[in-house]
A and B are shown apart, each in its own frame.
Chain A
Amino acid sequence: HLQLQESGPGLVKPSETLSLTCTVSGGSISRSDYHWDWIRQSPGKPLEWIGDIYYNGDTYYSQSLKSRVTMSIDTSKGQFSLNVRSVTAADTAVYYCARHPRAENWFDTWGPGTPVTVSS
């Protein structure tokens, strides 16, 4: 039974870097038939797809965040990570990690989410 769990600081100061990790358990992160995604939801707004990473390190980022986002993957630890640079209050959100099948465009497994507040 695959499970995803986000972890990281709940509070980040403006202009600093937000760093989150997603730990995958009950299944392999090295599977070639899945991508691993980050999605967030700011208060009062729809869910927003940030981007995804493949087991070999290939990434695809949403254009709106591309200049500030980096994703990485550590298959030996079963983890993938998100960094968002130069954060502002607009980056305050609940951040989710999720998985989507390589040939499809839906998210079949999600983590419970972790709230991140950007404030001094």
Chain B
Amino acid sequence: DIQMTQSPSSLSASVGDRVTITCRASQSISSSLNWYQQKPGKGPKLLIYDTSNLESEVPSRFSGSGSGTDFSLTISSLQREDSATYHCQQGYRTPFTFGQGTTLEIK
């Protein structure tokens, strides 16, 4: 199975900050990397698919980049409502696997 490693596991930032979360795959997954946002008590919400494509109605402050084994999710100007856990997921090969999650707290 392809292992996904996210970093950091948690972070705290202020409104307006630029925040980057990284995800590393144990082997090349081309551009098959997706990002989800999850708030307490809810299911994950798709933010970005295939590395850099923004899902419909997702604010443009979210962006994704990378290829091969190294990927990142960037929030350009953090808003209070971005407090959540973020998960990466590889769609290159089954079983689809996820990173362990990054919990983002707003100071």
Contacts and interface: CB of A to CB of B under 8 A. Distances in A.
Interface of A: 4, 45-49, 60, 62-64, 96, 98, 104-113
Interface of B: 1, 4, 32, 34, 36, 41-46, 49-50, 55, 87, 89, 91-92, 94-101
B95 A46 contact: no
B99 A106 contact: no
B101 A46 contact: yes
A60 B55 CA distance: 26
Contacts of B1: 64
Contacts of B42: 112-113
A62 to B, nearest CB: 4
Given A110-B45, A112-B42, A105 B87 contact: no
Contact of B43 (A49, A105, A110): A110
Contact of A105 (B55, B92, B100): B92
Closest 6 CB pairs of A and B: A105-B91, A110-B43, A47-B98, A106-B34, A62-B95, A49-B96
Contacts of B100: 45-46
B43 A46 contact: no
Contacts of A49: 94-98
B7 to A, nearest CB: 13
12 contacts: A4-B43, A49-B95, A62-B95, A64-B1, A64-B95, A98-B43, A104-B91, A105-B32, A106-B46, A108-B49, A110-B43, A112-B43
B27 to A, nearest CB: 16
Given A104-B49, A105-B92, A47 B43 contact: no
A110 B44 contact: yes
Contacts of A113: 42-43
Contacts of A98: 43
Nearest to B43: A110
B84 to A, nearest CB: 14
Contacts of B34: 105-107
A107 B44 contact: yes
